[in-house]
Amino acid sequence: MKNYIKHHPWEIIEEGFDPSLNRVSESIFSLGNGRMGQRGTFEEDYSGDTHQGSYVAGVYYPDKTRVGWWKNGYPEYFAKVLNAPSWIGIHIKVQGDVLDLAACKVSEFRRVLDMKRGTLNRSFTASYPDGKTVRVEATRFCSMDAGEVGAIRYRLTPVNFSAPATIRLDIDADVVNQDSNYQEKFWEEVSQEAREGAALVTAQTRKTNFHVCTGMTYALQAGGKPVTGKVTANARPKYADNVVEVVLTEGEELTIFKYGVILSSENHPKDRMMKIGGEKLQAARLAGFDALFNAHQAVWAHTWELCDITIEGDVAAQQGIRFNIFQLMQTYTGKDSRLNIGPKGFTGEKYGGSTYWDTEAYCLPFYLGTSDPSVARNLLVYRYKHLPKAIENAAKLGFKDGAALYPMVTMNGEECHNEWEITFEEIHRNGAIAYAIYDYVRYTGDENYLVQYGLEVLIAISRFWSQRVNWSAARQQYVMLGVTGPNEYENNVNNNWYTNRLAVWTMKYTQQVADWVKRRDPAAFDRILSVTRFREHEERTRWNDIIAKMYFPEDRERGVFLQQDGFLDKELIAVKDLRPEDRPLNEKWSWDRILRSCFIKQADVLQGLYFFEDEFDLESIRRNFDFYEPMTVHESSLSPCVHVILASRLGYTEKAYEMYLRTSRLDLDDYNHDTDDGCHITSMAGTWMSVVKGFGGMRVRDGKLHFAPFMPDHWTSYSFRLEFRDRVVRVKVNRDKTETILESGEPIEIVMNGKSVVLEPRQATVKV
């Protein structure tokens, strides 16, 4: 765990430059706007350890799979988000000497992420070996208002000299992915153009043929007046720049405004991209930095109005939660149903930038609570569009008749994960996609979604479950063999309780939805019958048989559900009895030792109890929590939040807070020593859930918001807002009272600690 980020409610602050922390900071200080993003790397040259990462949403490369032993059914490739052409470079040479923080003496270094306004600010003083000293103040943002535009204001002041200098402003498409399986370069040349005042490069991805046009223009100013200098425009394959010759005058600030555009062929015709790019550059330059910035920060102001969580009495917690919200909001804006949320967002390459079940199980509730319902809907529509591929994917594995298996990892609907125990066995992801439909409809009341899209997906997933189980003559029950539950520290187990439960739940829910659609819109139901070739009677009969006769492992004596058939054969040891040097297990133990152990990577049975909480009494939840939590090592960042939610419900407030700390500052404090790879974006949604569903006790039952808040000992108050069915409801929890305020929309009935209350506009309801 590191502790170098200064605490501040709205800013992430790094003071002093420590090259050994640079990659961690580059992840933390990442910027994005839903369409593009980049790590918090430097504009000027840096010859030290860095991972220059720029990403364009939806642009990926199918990197040929590399595995030792091929198994039938493995996908041929792993789709990877591409490290994309970079537009941020501002390369400075003073009298031929490169400004490079690895070669200069650096002082007064500050890197600040201003979360309120969405900017990355950096300032430092750098002295060359010969004593020449410059002061730099840089501000950069990826416009939340104009999604294809980014801007930099770079102020350069020679502190103790006057000298000629060159400023090279470039677009560099000769970039590589660190995680390339065969050290291939993924970008090929298309065209480049450099003229005085602008440079544009279009590059194309190999195999997938995405075109990305990246351009830049700039303006130089000193004392509020334009600075002109001799300009040389250079272009070569995958590269274009302008080199401007200037004379730096001691004590006089030179301001460089650099504007970047990134266009993808997903949004523009390929043959017009250079032209449109040029036009957008011109518009950005004409608008200027201040106007672009004002529009950008206005979007952030509005976003924060809806989604901010305030915490009083604990600045570290306040900073942590805002950082999580900030990263989520700049990763996915919900405007485009072709896009999704990679576990690392725009902050790194790990996990290939692809879609996991994280989206449905963790991110969806965050966007439901903080954004217009269309945002969460788009996440569901994304999976609807992938339904034909999910059916194909299942067919490749031998399933039939329209059964769908959604991929564990995907970019375009095709599976691209290739470890058999996950690809073929971690099938619970399919259930999370069904559950997300339920969760969305329960929260928004948008039942129309079921008619338009939802039912088709549910039928296909139920079909998969009904084919995946088999009848056990020995048990006289249905079983599900050879699966991996959410706890990836057990593979190829039989009857993972969570997966069995999800399967049965999906088959029940699908039938409820089918009945409802049939009643509500018979014509639509007929359409769905014919599209899906749903043999209603026959298929439902089978589903109902499975529902009635499914086997769920449990230990009646202990009163707990069993994670899988063999769980009790394991030596049951508590995590607290492990030697500190054994942790984290995934780094210290062999894989087979992990698999044989009882230690749990992430919530598994507890994930099921979280999803289906209302089906269980509190004592069952308690017994299972008490049994599994002590064996859980939380080596997935998705784990602690589920524990916060259940612990809060059980009144285990200290445990809830302890778990909360693990999730809220996971990246800021580099808890797991892996933030250098990128931030844990999807688990950040879990932090939000920890406050809202955990401490705030928020649930939706019968179309109503319920709350059962408690106050962590270390805080004096906290508040959050929820977007709920055309209303905005704010909940403010103090030590002695909870205020619930209807900030906008029609009166609404809520349930606070079991009591119904009607909220009238702007009237605070106070519970003492």
- Give the x/- contact pattern for ligand BGC in 609-648, rule: CB under 6 A: ---------------------------x-x----------
Options 98-106, 355-363, 374-382, 712-720: segment touching ligand BGC (CB under 6 A): 355-363
Nearest distance, CB of residue 32 and ligand BGC, angstroms: 18
Please report how many Cα atoms fall inside a 13 Å half-sphere around the Cα of residue 595, on the Cβ side. 9
Query: Nearest approach, Cβ of 676 to ligand BGC (angstroms)?
Result: 17
| Catalytic position from the list 349, 488, 539, 723 | 488
Report the alpha-carbon distance of residue 760 to residue 747 in Å, rounded.
5
The residue among 762, 755, 765 whose CA lies nearest residue 732 is 765
Nearer to ligand BGC, 200 or 642 (CB): 642
Q: Where are the beta strands (DSSP E) in 389-531?
A: 470-472, 477-479
Q: Cβ 594 to ligand BGC, closest distance in Å?
A: 13
CB 165 within 8 A of CB 95: yes
**What character string, x for contact with ligand BGC (CB under 6 A) and - otherwise, covers 558-597?**
----------------------------------------
Tell me which stretch binds ligand BGC (CB under 6 A): 86-94, 351-359, 390-398, 726-734: 351-359
Size of the site for ligand BGC (CB under 6 A): 12
CA distance 57 to 264: 9
Q: CB-wise, 300 or 489, nearer to ligand BGC? A: 489
CA pair distance 721, 732, nearest whole angstrom = 9
Candidates 126, 82, 71, 131; CA nearest to 104 is: 126
List the one residue from 32, 53, 58, 486 that touches ligand BGC (CB under 6 A).
486
Binding test (CB under 6 A) with ligand BGC, winner from 46, 187, 351, 627: 351
Residue 332 found at the interface with ligand BGC (CB under 6 A): no
Q: Report the residue number, 44 or 358, with the smaller CB distance to ligand BGC.
A: 358
Task: Choose the stretch contacting ligand BGC; rule: CB under 6 A; options: 178-186, 266-274, 352-360, 575-583.
Answer: 352-360
**What amino acid occupies position 298?**
A
8 Å CB contact between 744 and 724: no
Structure tokens at 139: 């501000």
Closest to ligand BGC by CB, 357 vs 718, is 357
Out of 356, 424, 543, 628, name the contact with ligand BGC by CB under 6 A.
Answer: 356
Buried (b) or exposed (e) across 168-189, using 16+ Cβ within 10 A?
A: bbbbbbebebebbeeeeebbee
Token digits of residue 725: 């069915």
The least distance separating ligand BGC from the CB of residue 680, rounded to whole angstroms, comes to 7
CB of 408 to ligand BGC, least distance (A): 8
Closer CB to ligand BGC, 239 or 356, in the complex: 356
Q: Tell me the closest approach of the beta carbon of residue 343 to ligand BGC, in angstroms.
A: 4
| Nearest one of 150, 142, 128, 203 to 173, comparing CA atoms | 203
Applying the rule CB under 6 A, the residues between 703 and 732 that interact with ligand BGC are none
- R_g over Cα of the chain: 27
Cα separation, 381 vs 89, in Å, equals 37
Identity of the residue, 89 or 486, whose beta carbon is nearer to ligand BGC in the bound complex: 486
Residue 602 touches ligand BGC, criterion: CB under 6 A: yes
Q: Is 488 a catalytic residue?
A: yes
- Closest CB to ligand BGC among 358 and 456? 358
Q: Count CA atoms within 13 Å of residue 243 on its CB side.
A: 11
Residue closer to ligand BGC (CB basis): 143 or 687: 687
Q: Are 5 and 13 in contact (CB under 8 A)?
A: yes
Q: Residue 687 CB, nearest distance to ligand BGC (Å)?
A: 14
User: How many Cβ atoms are within 10 Å of 440's Cβ, its own excluded?
Assistant: 24
- Report residue 481: phi and psi, to 5°: -100, 155
Map residues 277-306 to x or -, x wherever contact with ligand BGC holds by CB under 6 A: ------------------------------
Q: Is 678 in the site for ligand BGC (CB under 6 A)?
A: no
653 Cβ neighbours under 8 A, 6+ residues apart? 647, 710, 712, 713
Q: Is 357 in the site for ligand BGC (CB under 6 A)?
A: yes
What's the token pair of residue 693? 């569903």
- Residue 676 CB partners (closer than 8 Å, separation 6+): 23, 24, 26, 27, 51, 670
Residue span binding ligand BGC (CB under 6 A) among the ranges 162-170, 353-361, 410-418, 504-512? 353-361
* Residue 682 lies near ligand BGC (rule: CB under 6 A): yes
Sole window of 287-295, 356-364, 541-549, 700-708 interacting with ligand BGC (rule: CB under 6 A): 356-364
Of the pair 44, 674, the CB lying nearest ligand BGC is at 674
**Residue 418 binds ligand BGC (CB under 6 A):** no
CA distance 605 to 493: 14
Q: Which of residues 81-120 bind ligand BGC (CB under 6 A)?
A: none
CA dist 741 and 763 (Å) reads 6
The only residue of 488, 629, 667, 676 in contact with ligand BGC, by rule CB under 6 A: 488
Nearer to ligand BGC (CB atom), residue 43 or residue 358: 358
Distance in angstroms (rounded) separating the CA atoms of residues 698 and 690: 10
Nearest to 495 by CA among 561, 430, 429, 433: 561
Beta strand pairing status for 105-114 and 717-724?
unpaired
Q: Is 686 in the site for ligand BGC (CB under 6 A)?
A: no
Query: What is the contact surface with ligand BGC in residues (CB under 6 A)?
Result: 343, 351, 356-358, 486, 488, 601-602, 636, 638, 682
For the annotated catalytic residues, the residue numbers are: 488
